[in-house]
Amino acid sequence: MKASVDKDGCIGCGLCEQICPEVFRMTDDGYAEAYNDVGDSLQESATEARDSCPVSVIDIA
């Protein structure tokens, strides 16, 4: 599975990176990006990051 972040809505809170740093990281411009595929072992934490995003801009498909 792949995660994606809609940068236009991201408020740069850093929560997704804190919850699942294997998939999400903050970029120099202050937004999150998904830089890694969501493998089976990361599905739980990536889903938690998605569900915890305060502005719901993370998609996993």
Q: Are 5 and 61 in contact (CB under 8 A)?
A: no
Under rule CB under 6 A, residue 16 binds ligand SF4: yes
With 0-12 CB in 10 A as exposed, 13-18 as middle and 19+ as buried, what is 51?
A: exposed
Under rule CB under 6 A, residue 23 binds ligand SF4: no
Specify the residue, 38 or 53, whose C-beta has the smaller distance to ligand SF4.
53
| 19 sits in which H/E element | helix 15-19
Minimum distance, C-beta of residue 54 to ligand SF4, in the bound complex (Å): 6
Judged by CB under 6 A, which of 4, 37, 44, 55 binds ligand SF4? 55
